[in-house]
């Protein structure tokens, strides 16, 4: 049997749900009344032209003096800056996802174009597609068609073009390389 001294020396384990993390600055803070938090939200949501005067005018039940007190006590200015930083992070994250989705879509398009071009070049009996008569297409047009398909895929995958530039900002892309400059009616 353990003595009381031995029991006091043991670590007390608390359930995980008892541990509380500090709320994010833009969330309701421990000890902050719902009325003070609602006023903070009203202040926060006024945007870049926010002021305590405008917040008080929009909430006539709360005096400007009380707004000032809460603003200082609950660090509204710092919390709003944290909120704006978080909103910017969320927007950038969404933008990066949209860019990744766009790149994947462009890769699919480039591969489809390459496949269609190949199908047209060699023919496809199953789909009743006759091969292009290469005698009717100039070598330059063939080269531009090939370059267009390859460069479109490379661009969509973020790989440098033949001049060593990438879409990440090493300079403007040369549109005429990607547009191909050939007569699509020949294809």
pLDDT tens per residue across span 108-145: 888 888 888 788 888 888 988 888 887 788 888 878 87
Q: Which two tokens stand for residue 103?
A: 């790149």
For the ranges 59-68, 159-168, 177-186, the lowest mean pLDDT is seen at: 177-186
pTM: 0.56
In this structure, the number of other CB atoms found within 10 A of the CB of residue 161 comes to 19
At residue 155, the pLDDT reads 81
Q: What percent of the chain has pLDDT over 70?
A: 74
At residue 21, the pLDDT reads 85
Query: Which of 51, 52, 74, 80 has the alpha carbon at shortest distance from 64?
Result: 52
At residue 13, the pLDDT reads 53
Question: Strand runs (DSSP E) across 10-153, as ranges?
Answer: none
At residue 41, the pLDDT reads 96
Say if residue 145 is exposed, middle or buried (CB neighbours under 10 Å; 0-12, 13-18, 19+).
Answer: buried
At residue 2, the pLDDT reads 54
Gap between the Cα atoms of 65 and 73, Å rounded: 12
At residue 156, the pLDDT reads 77
Phi, psi (deg, nearest 5) at residue 2: -90, 145
Gap between the Cα atoms of 2 and 167, Å rounded: 70
Q: Considering only residues 54 and 148, tell me which one the structure prediction assigns the higher pLDDT.
A: 54
**What is the band of 103 on the pLDDT scale with cuts at 50, 70, 90?**
confident
pLDDT of 187 strictly over 50: no
At residue 175, the pLDDT reads 40
At residue 63, the pLDDT reads 94
Q: What is the mean pLDDT of residues 47-62?
A: 93
At residue 85, the pLDDT reads 96
Phi, psi (deg, nearest 5) at residue 124: -150, 100
Q: Is 150 helix (H, G, I), strand (E, B) or coil?
A: helix
Average pLDDT, the chain: 79
Question: Which residues neighbour 179 within 8 Å (Cβ) at sequence distance 6 or greater?
Answer: 148
Gap between the Cα atoms of 132 and 153, Å rounded: 23
């Amino acid at each position: 049997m353990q003595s009381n001294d031995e029991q006091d020396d043991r670590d007390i384990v608390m359930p995980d749900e008892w541990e509380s993390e500090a709320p994010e600055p833009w969330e309701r803070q421990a000890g902050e009344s719902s009325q003070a938090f609602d006023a903070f939200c009203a202040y926060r949501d006024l945007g870049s032209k926010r002021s305590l005067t405008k917040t008080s005018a929009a909430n006539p039940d709360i005096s400007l003096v009380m707004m000032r007190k809460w603003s200082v006590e609950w660090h509204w200015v710092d919390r709003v800056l944290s909120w704006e930083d978080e909103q910017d992070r969320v927007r950038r994250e969404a933008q990066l996802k949209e860019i990744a989705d766009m790149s994947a879509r462009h890769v699919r398009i480039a591969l489809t174009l390459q496949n269609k071009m190949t199908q047209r070049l060699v023919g496809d009996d199953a789909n009743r597609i006759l091969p292009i008569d290469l005698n009717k297409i100039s070598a330059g047009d063939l080269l531009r068609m090939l370059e267009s398909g390859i460069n479109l895929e490379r661009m969509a995958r973020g790989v440098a073009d033949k001049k060593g530039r990438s879409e990440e900002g090493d300079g403007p892309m040369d549109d005429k390389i990607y547009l191909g400059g050939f007569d699509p009616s020949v294809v």
